[in-house]
């Protein structure tokens, strides 16, 4: 009996230490990746990165055009994706909360949410790039919008569902039409959560590379023409990191650092928004 008890105690201790080791293992990667990124990224960081164009191989330069390109693409994607996502989420939460269409869209949306992003790139290539005959920043923006939509749909629906029905009833009782009670009352009550959704979507697309590879392609020069290929940070990182030139590789690390800091800042902002929303 004591032997068996000892064995059980031993297994318990082994399992607990394994759990502890697994946690250290998991967190270790975060430290390793961020550590290397900060080290290599900061060593290449200078003012020139933000003021100069991408250089030809073998000379120094900056990342101005991909940074601006990424901003353009992100703004475009949010401008296209947010209205569609918010409206679809509104339908699912306000008008058709329990109807068939909503439950189907909910399921489809969940699948879109985790569909491989490279497939989205192929889709936009088929419907935009191939018919137009050339790569364009516009196609890149639309491809990113396809990734923004499901995130926004999901958070809008979730947040509107949390709005208490008493607010809607109060709005109706003073004679507000349904559309106004949604736009003036419910949106206002759910605002923090909906903004969080958009921020999360931006965080997600700012590092997306795969859908841009064959939609907005790349551009070594300054271009703000949405109808022409456009540079973006992730694609530049991809190209520069795989090149044999030291200058390019160092710029790739700096670009990676910029993206990561942006993504982390966005997720922390989103997190604190949700946090403050809960307290009030």
Partner 1 sequence: MDPARRRSVVDVALQEGAMVSVEAGTRARVLDRLRLGDLAFRHLTRAAAVGVLLLLTGVIISLVAGSLPAFRTFGFEFLTTERWNPVTEKFGALAPIYGTLITSFIAMAIAVPVGLMIAFFLTELCPAWLRRPIGIAIELLAGIPSIIYGIWGLFVFAPFLQETLQPFLINTLGNVPVIAPLFSGPPYGIGMLTAGLILTIMVLPFVTSISRDVFDAVPAVLKEAAYGVGCTTWEVVRYVVLPYARVGVIGGVMLGLGRALGETMAVTFVIGNAHRISASLLAPGTTISATIANEFTEAVGDLYTSALIALGLILFVITLIVLAAARYLLLRIDRRIG
What distance in Å separates the CA atoms of residue 168 and residue 190, rounded to the nearest whole number? 13
Q: Tell me which residues in 51-90 interact with partner 1 (CB under 8 A).
A: 83-88, 90
Joined tokens for residue 118: 């490279």
Choosing from 97, 178, 191, 246, the residue that interacts with partner 1 (CB under 8 A) is: 178
Q: Tell me which residues in 208-237 interact with partner 1 (CB under 8 A).
A: 208-210, 213-214, 217, 234, 237
Choosing from 82, 136, 206, 216, the residue that interacts with partner 1 (CB under 8 A) is: 206
What distance in Å separates the CA atoms of residue 85 and residue 192, rounded to the nearest whole number? 16
CA angle 19, 25, 28 (to 5 degrees): 140
Among candidates 179, 180, 182, which has minimal Cα distance to 190? 182
Choosing from 6, 75, 79, 108, the residue that interacts with partner 1 (CB under 8 A) is: 108
Q: Is the dihedral of CA 139, 143, 149, 151 positive or negative?
A: negative
Instruction: Please report whether residue 125 would count as binding partner 1 according to CB under 8 A.
Output: yes
Choosing from 6, 79, 170, 242, the residue that interacts with partner 1 (CB under 8 A) is: 242
Q: Please, how many CA atoms are within 13 Å of residue 111, restricted to the half-sphere of its CB?
A: 6
Determine the interface stretch with partner 1 among 42-50, 53-61, 64-72, 264-272 (rule: CB under 8 A). Answer: 264-272
Q: Tell me which residues in 13-32 interact with partner 1 (CB under 8 A).
A: 14-16, 18-23, 25-27, 29-30, 32
Nearer to partner 1, 51 or 249 (CB): 249
């Amino acid at each position: 009996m004591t032997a068996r008890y000892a064995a059980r105690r031993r297994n318990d201790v082994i399992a607990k230490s394994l759990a502890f080791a697994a946690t250290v293992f998991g967190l270790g990667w975060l430290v390793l990746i961020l550590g290397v990124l900060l080290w290599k990224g900061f060593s290449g960081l200078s003012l020139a990165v933000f003021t100069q164009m991408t250089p030809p191989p073998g000379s120094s330069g900056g990342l101005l055009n991909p940074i601006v390109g990424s901003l353009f693409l992100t703004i475009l994607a949010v401008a296209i994706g947010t209205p569609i996502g918010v409206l679809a989420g509104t339908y699912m939460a306000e008008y058709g909360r329990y109807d068939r269409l909503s439950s189907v869209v909910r399921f489809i949306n969940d699948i879109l949410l985790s569909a491989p992003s490279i497939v989205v790139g192929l889709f936009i290539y088929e419907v935009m790039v191939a018919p137009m005959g050339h790569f364009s920043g516009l196609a890149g923006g639309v491809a990113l919008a396809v990734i923004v939509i499901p995130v926004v749909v999901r958070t809008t629906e979730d947040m509107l569902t949390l709005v208490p029905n008493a607010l809607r009833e109060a709005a109706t009782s003073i004679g507000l039409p349904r559309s106004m009670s949604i736009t003036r009352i419910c949106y206002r009550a759910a605002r923090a959560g909906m903004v969080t959704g958009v921020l999360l979507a931006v965080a997600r697309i700012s590092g997306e590379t795969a859908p841009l590879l064959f939609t907005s392609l790349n551009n070594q020069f300054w271009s703000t023409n949405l109808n022409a290929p456009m540079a973006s940070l992730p694609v530049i990182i991809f190209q520069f990191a795989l090149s044999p030139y030291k200058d390019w590789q160092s710029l790739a690390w700096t670009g990676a650092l910029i993206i990561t800091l942006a993504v982390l800042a966005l997720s922390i902002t989103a997190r604190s928004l949700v946090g403050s929303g809960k307290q009030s």
